[in-house]
Structure 1
Amino acid sequence: MLLTEKLKDKNIILASQSPRRRELLAGLEIEFSTISLDIDESFDRDFYKANKITEYLSAKKANAYIDLKPNDIIITSDTTVWANNESLEKPENREDAYRMIKALSNTTHSVYTSVTLKSTEKEVTFTAETKVKFAELSDEEIYFYIDQYKPFDKAGAYGIQEWIGYIGVESLEGSYFNVMGLPVHQLYKELQKF
């Protein structure tokens, strides 16, 4: 059964402000609405590492939504860039973005995205990992990207679908869409089972 048929009586709610996540979910050809959740995204950095960060925050977002009705399925997610044993989230300013991209230059890092599906009856969280290898980037290239694309709303201070992805990404292992913020192939399968 196609997912559109399976979900025809469900109210799918994407809790995200990300235009990329909205675009990716729309690519699955399912009807959905969007909401914004304003939650505290802090976490214990000594306790949570790598994919445990995104799993914790994705579930926290889902559980912050208290208006679930019987036919609702809410989708929440969180993405982090994990490099050199550090979580690179959204940069605070130009220098922070430079620091992050410089740390990614000429190395391989992991991008983790966790997604939580929640209804009144059940909840499931799953995670995708993609390994991304960056070429060596010059300071001129890094600052050009930051000044032209202003990646302050992106984990790790970069969008793979933008100029820096064209010139900087040498290879990846895993889902390209996961790096954009939503592992849609996995989400499709999980919604089929949900």
Structure 2
Amino acid sequence: MTTEPMNLPKVILASKSPRRQELLRLMNIDFRVVLKEVDESYPEGLTPTEIALHIAEKKCHAFDEMVEDEVVVTADTIVSIDGQILGKPESPEHAIAMLQTLSGRKHQVITGVCILYNQQYNLFYDVSEVLFRPLTDGEIAYYVNKYQPLDKAGSYGIQEWIGLIGIERIDGSYTNVVGLPTEKLYQQLLKLQK
């Protein structure tokens, strides 16, 4: 009887996100990181969910010719409020404006994931609803100045100070808000066991 929960082919994580890498480590998945430059633009008229899936799939297609007997995992996380997409902020001022928009309101965090294995693409997504309590301008400025959240969709990391002091409720997966819906990913990877 094996003591390992999964016996997977080699896994490539196509993400520079330290949060996604840490989540895979916590799942005890042996992986390596391989990065490729991908244009993350998308056609107009897509829903937030369609955008996340479109970009995740685009990232996976960058590996079409490269992998044999390996599993490629790509993901894209977006924040949506009232149908408006909040991507990664372009400046500290932009980050402050985004957090002011999220303050005291509910928003959705959507992560699209694409798995490539044996020339087969498997797309799935998760949606979590997050409620911030009203944040003061001082709290927002402190967070942006100290944590520099310019690499994060919606300008915040739930695992950081702002999440600890500001998030009142999450409906859905916590790890999805971090950047990778590990519960759904695990179920999909189980299907690929050697």
Match of 1:52 in 2: 50
Counterpart Cα distance in 2 of 1:98 and 1:147: 10
Ranges in structure 2 where 5+ consecutive residues have no aligned partner: none
Q: TM-score, structure 2 length as denominator?
A: 0.94
Matched residue of 2:6: which SS? helix
- Matches for 1:33-72 after TM superposition, within 5 Å: 33-44=32-43, 46-72=44-70
CA separation of 1:65/1:121 partners in 2, compared to 1, >3 Å: closer, same or farther? closer
Q: Which runs of 4+ in 1 moved over 2 A?
A: 1-5, 66-70
The alignment-based identity, stated in percent, is: 39
The reply on whether 1:134 has 2:117 as its aligned counterpart is no
Which of 143, 156, 159 is the aligned partner of 1:158? Answer: 156
Aligned to 1:32: 31
Which amino acid in structure 2 is aligned with residue 158 of structure 1?
Y
Counterpart of 1:75 in structure 2 is: 73
Tell me the residue number matched to 2:11: 12
For the structure 1 residues 58 and 3, does the alpha-carbon distance in structure 2 shift closer, same or farther, using more than 3 Å as the test? farther
- Supply the AA of the counterpart residue of 1:172: I
Deviation per residue, 1:67-98 (Å, 9 max, x gap): 43331110000000011211101000011101
Q: After TM superposition, list the pairs within 5 Å mapping 1:43-192 onto structure 2.
A: 43-44=42-43, 46-192=44-190
* Letter paired with 2:122: V
- Deviations along 1:109-162, one digit per CA (max 9) or x if unpaired, are 000001100023311010010000000011111111000000000000000000
Q: Helix, strand or coil: the match of 1:102?
A: helix
Q: CA RMSD in A?
A: 1.2
Secondary structure in 2 aligned to 1:52? Answer: helix
* CA distance, structure 2, for counterparts of residue 48 and residue 64 of structure 1: 21
User: Structure 2 CA distance, aligned partners of 1:83 and 1:21?
Assistant: 23
What's the secondary structure of 1:75's corresponding residue?
strand
Unmatched segments (≥5 aa) in structure 1: none
SS of corresponding position for 1:167:
helix
